[in-house]
Amino acid sequence: MRAVELRHLEYFLAVADTGGFTQAAKALHVVQSGVSATIKALERELGAELFTRTPQEVTLTAAGRTFLPRARETLDSARAAKDAVHGMRGAVQGTVTVGTLTSIDLVDLPELLAALRARYPGVTVRLRAAMAGSAGLAQHLREGRLDVAFLALPPADLDTRLLASAPLALYVPGSHPLARTGRATLAQLAEFPFVDTPPGFANRTIVDQAFTAAGVTREVTVEIANVATAARFIQAGLGIGFLGHSLVPEHSGLATVEVTDADLCWELSVATASTRRPSAATRAFLDLLAERHPSP
């Protein structure tokens, strides 16, 4: 692999992570033809096609899937070498890719990033929103697409630290029958349709687990990826739902109902992959986060 350069690996990973040559070119700030030519040169050097190309999608071949972790390891090693040199000069440089949930009001992320920029101007942060909830972010951490992520219900195979927790309350429209009683069991709640996030999102998992533990089945009739908008759907009478108090605006017209046989809580953690050593930029981000949000 005498002709393979770090640039080839960077372009390969960009296509693999974004799922297309156009998307990769945008992420790399280069023209698409340059990405295509670089990938073709890499495939010629390796003697194997790395991607299956169709008009609808670009996917990794078996050779591409085999090559993927090795490419990440090589770039990680190169990054660690650069970190060591910069560290000798007392400088922290690099890029940290951060995965975020659709709503993490328990952490003031804009303020955190502003403080990071002020302290480490050589660090660039790339934010990536969760498309499949905490489960999707956790998988992207394992695959190396993210350096750090904010998760709820983090899996055991990641390195995690609890940041904050908040209770989940049941909200119903003010005219709902449950608003008049003010109290209900999970079995009684199951008689009504629910508004919730899709499977894989922590809010959905927490509530599903509570109903499963109680031996009760509920029906989610409206699924929304952005839990911050759930209150509006409940206001419209499309269902009832469990939400954190910060997600419900004042004067929303919604009422809370005490759930007598369950105590649901949503927890926010920060996570990194246990199989990869954090870069200097990632460590700077984590250290500043720990200063502002020590473990409870």
pLDDT tens by residue, 87-128: 655 677 888 999 998 767 778 889 999 999 999 898 889 898
Pairing of strands 148-151, 265-273: antiparallel
pLDDT band at 14 (very low <50, low <70, confident <90, very high): confident
Task: List pLDDT tens digits, range 232-245.
Answer: 999 999 999 999 88
More confident residue, 130 or 239: 239
pLDDT band at 1 (very low <50, low <70, confident <90, very high): very low
pLDDT (mean) for 215-236: 93
232 within 8 A of 107, measured Cβ to Cβ: no
118 contacts: CB under 8 Å, gap ≥ 6: none
pLDDT (mean) for 139-155: 87
- pTM (two decimals): 0.68
Chain centroid offset of residue 165 CA: 17
178 contacts: CB under 8 Å, gap ≥ 6: 170, 172, 184, 188, 189, 192, 240, 255, 257
pLDDT (mean) for 152-179: 91
Burial of 257 (0-12, 13-18, 19+ CB in 10 A): buried
Question: Residue 150: beta bridge partners?
Answer: 270
261 within 8 A of 185, measured Cβ to Cβ: yes
